[in-house]
Amino acid sequence: MQPRKTVQTIGIISRPRRSNLVVVVPPLLKWLEAHGIQSIIDEETASSLPDGSKGQTRERVADASQLLLVLGGDGTMLAAARLAAPRGIPILPINMGSLGFLTGFTLEELHPALDDTLEGRFSLSERVMISVELDRAGKVIDNQRVLNEVVINKGALARMIEPELTIDGDFVCRYRADGLIVASPTGSTAYSLSAGGPIVHPTVESFVITPICPHTLSDRPLVIRDSSSVELKLSGNTESVFMTLDGQRGIPLQPTDLVRISRAKEPLKLIQPPKKSYFEILRSKLKWGEA
């Protein structure tokens, strides 16, 4: 990261409708101005200001910024990651949600974290992003980047689905399950964990493939190298089946669809508290060792 003199513009992305933004944002903007930093705010952040200021779209905020300051929980962080990673912009995450695996700084640490970041006193973690292509009838109709996971899952009232998994051209398995998760190490503590998958350290170059409520109990989570090419397609019943990206976007799938998953070229640059280890965050969030 650059020292203070080269960081001139910070973009601010906030969790929508967060009540305490009105208390946090105005003094934050004054602090940045006093330190010679230009701020660009998104529309959610602007809605918290009493003067009726208008914000920019998140895409424009990311385009114009050298650093993204994220005020929110993991959901806000996931949305910001999809903007920041392909642009090579670091993210400074401030937790204003409940759990916050990805947002390692507390609200009380906001200004000290900004000071440390601008002076270069911080720890930078590069997190693998997942590249997802949706191929329909031989044509790529969607191409996305996600931080946590890609999920193939059934609708609420649909029957069990049968996704077929291929890795590097080798057929692996035809599952009968409620769904299938392909997660990054960062995403291993999200949906995959709740479905029985392992926790994987962010530096381990891997993907975790976790079936959701499999019909065959021997269908267990699988850990593979993230240099692998993963393909998913549907067989059997394909009614009410969706591809869900980071839990925030759902795309209905058709019988001929092919989902290709690989490691994205650009990692996410995530600023973390220099004195908090990954395992300390796990202990805190998962309540390890507590009675």
Residue 60 in contact with residue 45, Cβ under 8 Å? Answer: no
In contact, 267 and 147? CB cutoff 8 Å: no
Catalytic residue among 42, 51, 63, 74: 74
For the chain, domains (ranges, CATH) are 4-127+267-286 (3.40.50.10330), 130-263 (2.60.200.30)
Average pLDDT estimate for 256-276: 93
> Which alpha helices (H) appear in the chain, and where do they start and end?
21-34, 43-46, 58-64, 74-87, 110-118, 191-194, 278-286
pTM score above 0.85:
yes
In the chain, what percentage of residues exceed pLDDT 90? Answer: 73
pLDDT of residue 1: 42
Does 206 or 238 have the greater pLDDT score? 206
CA angle 120, 124, 127 (to 5 degrees): 155
Of the listed ranges 128-132, 154-158, 193-197, the least confidently predicted one is: 154-158
Say whether pLDDT at 271 is over 80.
yes
- In angstroms, the first-to-last Cα distance of the chain is 40
CA 129, 132, 137: angle at the middle one, nearest 5? 170
What value does the mean pLDDT take over residues 78-100? 91
Amino acid making up residue 22: V
Confidence check: pLDDT of 2 > 80: no
The model's confidence at residue 291, banded by pLDDT at 50, 70 and 90, is low
Task: Name the 3-class secondary structure at 26.
Answer: helix
Active site residue 135: no
Residue 177's contacts (CB-CB under 8 Å, 6 or more residues apart) are: 160, 161, 163, 211, 212, 213, 214, 215, 219
Place of tokens 């513009």: 9
Tell me which of 197 and 291 has the higher pLDDT: 197
| Burial class of residue 16, CB neighbours in 10 A (0-12, 13-18, 19+) | middle
215-252: pLDDT as tens digits: 998 999 999 999 999 999 998 767 789 999 999 999 99
Instruction: Tell me the pLDDT of the chain averaged across its residues.
Output: 91
